[in-house]
A and B are shown apart, each in its own frame.
Chain A
C-alpha cells in the first residue's frame, strides 16, 4: 500500500460530527479564521440533534422574570447530584442565554410569548419555565438554523464520511483516517487540532431512543488515542419511550408532554408519582393533585407536579410500578395528556407526538392514554475535558456535546443538552483556535499507523467467513440491556463484563459480506469497535462506583455514599492495551459556586431579588 495514493485533505481543524455541537464548533472555528473541515457520517442536517423535542434551557427570564443563571446553575447541580464539573455547570448557565439569542440572529424562529419575546416552557428539574422551544421540534429548528448559517461561513463539509481513528505525532494530534461511505475509499485528514462532537453511544443498548449513528465513535477514537473518559457509568434512561408496538420500542415521547400537564398513572388508575418524591425535592414538589393542578393553571405560589421530577426519579418509579404488577399491558405506565388538555391544544403544542402515535401506534393521544417506559437516551459521561477550553488529556484533541463528560454529573436535566451543545461547541472552537495559535506548522502523519488503520478496516471485508455484524450487534445489545441497564449490581455487571470479553473475541472474526461501496454491513462492523469500547467502559465504571447516584442505580448499594461524591471514575487505555478504570479525586468545589448550589430556593430567590 502506497500512502501517497491515499487522498489527503488538509485543514487547521477538523470537526467530527455535525449535530448541534459540531456545527457550532465549526462555525466558531471559521469565525476565528481557521480553515475548517466538518466531517459527518450522515447527510448534513440529519444528525441526532434533529430528534430533540422539548426545548433549549436558558435563563432568559422571558416568562418568569425571577429566573437567573444562578437558579439554572443550582437546578443543574441538584439534577446532576452534585457530581457535575462545577465550572462547566457555571459556564453553561451563564452563557446559554447568549447562545439562544444568537440562534435567533441566525434565523431560528422560536415560539413567542404574548409580548413577542422567545417563549419558554416548564421541564423536569427546572425551577421556572426555561426552555425556549418550537412546538415539539426544537432540535430541528436548531440544526437547520446552524446548517443554513454554517454553509455560508466557508466551512468545508465532508458528508457521509466515517472517522476511523486519530493520528498523533508523539503526544499531539496530527490527523484522522476516515472512509467515504459511498465509495469505501479512505481519506487522511491532516490537521492541527480535532474537535470530536460525535454524540453518545446509546446504540449499544437494545431499547434506546438513539439512531444508528450513536455508536460511541468519539469515545472509541479518543480512548484508542490515549485520552481519558470520565464517569461513563452515568447513562440516562429517559422515563418515557414508546413501548408498543415492538418495532418502535424506545422511540422518545417528549418530556414536553408532562411539561404541558401530562400525568403518569398505573394500571389501577393511580397517579403514582406522588408516592415517589425524594426527600431532596420534597420541599419544592406539590404533594396533592389540587396543588399540582393550580401550578398547571399558572399559580406561581404552587409547587411543581411530581411528574416533573428529574428523569432518573421518574424512570425508576415507572420500573417500580411495572415490577409490582401495576404496569400497562406492554410493560410500561400510562401517560395521559388527553384528560388534561383540549384536543386543539395538544395538536398545537405537541404536533409531532400526535403524529408519531397516530402513524406508528395507531393511537390518538387527544383521546387515549399513551403507554410509555424507560429508554436509553443519553450518556452523561464522556471524554474528559478542561472546562474552559474543552481540550481532552491529549494535546490538540477537543470534545464537546454529548461525547464530552462532566457538564451533567450523574444525571442530565431535560433541555440542558441543546444548550450544552451550543455553549461548549463555541468554547471548543475558541479552545482549538487558542491551541493552534501556539503551534508552528502541521504535525506530521505517521504512515505506519495510517496503514494499520486501513488494514484493520479492510480485513473485515476480506475475511473468507466470519460472524454476521448485525447479529453481533444484537448480542451486544442484549448484554447491555440485561446487565448494564437501569438497575445494576456487582453480580450483573461482572457477568456482563465477562460476556463483553467474549464479544471482543467474536469481533475479531466479524465478516462483512459484499464490496466496499456503500455497504451498511461493513459500516456496522466498523462502528462496533467503538460500541464495544463504550459498553466496556460503562460496565467497568459502573462496577467501580459502589453507590446509587442519579442515573446510576446499584441494588447492592441503594444509597448515595459521600466518599463517592469526591471521586470521578476515569477510563483509559493501559500500557498493555487493556482497559483500565480508576477513581480520581475531584478538586474542591469553588467556594462561591458551592454556596449558591447549597442555598435554599427561598434564600437564593431573595438574594437575586435584592
Chain B
C-alpha cells in the first residue's frame, strides 16, 4: 500500500505510521509501546534496513524520497507490520533459569559481586528483545534453520548466565548441542543492527564458542577426560 502524508519537524517513522492510522487507514496493524527505544516492540525493515521505527527520524530520508516499511522477514506475518514472534519466547523457555549458589551469601544474607565482574553481563542485559538480531541472522533468515540455532538474542542470554559470577549451572553442553553455537559463522550482522549497541558477536557468541571448543575439542583436555573416565570406570 502507498500512503502520502505530511511530515512535521522531529517526526520519527512510527509517528508517520500513526498519522497514516489516524487519517487514512484506521486498521493498519503495527506493534509499539514505549516510543522511546526501551521496549523493542516496533521493529520493522525501513528501506531494507531492520530498525526500531520509534528511533528512526523521518529527516534521515529526503523530502521526496519514498520510505518503504516492511515487517520483519524472518517471522510469519500476522497482519501488515505485525509478525508472529512466538518462536523466540519458546526458545527462552528452553534455557535453564539462573541458579545461584546460596553459599556465596555473606553473613547478612547479601550476595557480594564486584562491579568489574558484572560489567560484561550487564552489557547483555541491556537487550530490549526487539528481535532485530534474530531477524538478520543468516541461519534463521536465509537458511530457515530455526530448529538448529537459537539465534543471537538467546546466545547473549546464555552468555549472561554462563558468565554470571553466582550461577552454578554447567551450560556449555547445551550451548553446543541444544542451542547450536557452532551454527553461527560470525558475519556480525546481528551486532550491526542492535539498537542497544551490544557487541553480540565479539562479547557473547565468540567467547561461548571458545568455551565450547575448550571443553569438547581441546586435545589435552580430551585426553585427560578419556584417562579420567577410564580410571573412574
Q: Interface on A for B, CB 8 Å cutoff? A: 42-48, 50-51, 62, 101, 104-107, 109, 111-112, 114-118, 134-135, 137, 139-141, 144, 148-149, 151-152, 159, 182, 211-213, 244-248, 251-252, 352, 355-356, 359-361, 468-471, 512-515, 517-522
Contacts and interface: CB of A to CB of B under 8 A. Distances in A.
B27 A137 contact: no
Nearest to A135: B122
Contact of A50 (B39, B55, B57): B39
6 contacts: A45-B129, A50-B39, A109-B122, A109-B164, A137-B126, A144-B125
Contacts of B37: 352, 355-356, 359
A248 B114 CA distance: 37
Contacts of B218: none
Interface in B13-29: 15, 21-22, 26-29
Contacts of B111: 104
A140 B28 contact: no
A468 B115 contact: no
Contacts of B36: 51, 248, 251-252, 356, 360
A471 B19 CA distance: 11
Contacts of A112: 113-115, 118
A520 B28 contact: yes
B200 to A, nearest CB: 16
Contacts of B12: 247, 360
Contacts of B164: 107, 109
Interface string B92-119: 1100011010000000011111110010
Nearest to A249: B10
B92 A148 contact: yes
Interface size band for B:
35 or more
Contact of A141 (B34, B125, B157): B125
Interface string B156-193: 01001100100000000000000000000000000000
A407 B127 CA distance: 32
A211 B185 CA distance: 38
A5 B79 CA distance: 25
B52 to A, nearest CB: 9
A393 to B, nearest CB: 31
A245 B57 CA distance: 11
Given A42-B33, A252-B36, A355-B37, A514 B93 contact: no
A512 B31 contact: no
B10 A182 contact: no
B34 A211 contact: yes
Contacts of A116: 112-115
Nearest to B112: A116
Nearest to A250: B35
B69 interface: no
B15 A51 contact: no
B53 interface: no
A512 B26 contact: yes
- Which of A149, A212, A213 gathers most chain B CB within 10 Å? A212
B61 to A, nearest CB: 15
Contact of A105 (B27, B38, B100, B161): B100
B46 interface: no
A72 B112 CA distance: 24
B142 interface: no
- Which of B38, B85, B125 gathers most chain A CB within 10 Å? B38
Nearest to A139: B38
Nearest to A41: B33
- Which of A116, A117, A519 gathers most chain B CB within 10 Å? A116
Nearest to A515: B27
A470 B85 CA distance: 27
Contacts of A211: 32-35, 39
- Which of B9, B12, B55, B79 gathers most chain A CB within 10 Å? B79
Contacts of B127: 144
B134 to A, nearest CB: 14
B151 interface: no
A518 B115 contact: no
B139 interface: no
A521 B10 contact: no
Contacts of A251: 35-36
A356 B41 CA distance: 16
Nearest to B26: A521
Given A46-B33, A116-B113, A248-B10, A512 B38 contact: no
Given A137-B38, A152-B97, A48 B92 contact: no
B31 A140 contact: no
A109 B121 contact: yes
B30 A520 contact: yes
B10 A518 contact: no
Nearest to A44: B89
Contacts of A118: 110
Contacts of A252: 36
B11 A247 contact: yes
A360 B35 CA distance: 10
A520 B34 contact: no
B93 to A, nearest CB: 5
B128 interface: yes
B67 interface: no
Contact of A151 (B92, B109, B112, B128): B92
A518 B78 contact: yes
Nearest to A134: B122
A517 to B, nearest CB: 6
B35 to A, nearest CB: 7
A116 B79 CA distance: 48
B152 interface: no
B178 to A, nearest CB: 16
Given A112-B113, A117-B110, A517 B22 contact: no
Given A42-B41, A151-B93, A521-B26, A106 B98 contact: yes
B50 interface: no
B204 interface: no
Contacts of A518: 29, 78-80, 82
B77 to A, nearest CB: 10
Nearest to B110: A117
A252 B36 CA distance: 9
Contact of B15 (A140, A247, A355, A361): A247
A519 B82 CA distance: 11
Contacts of B32: 211-212
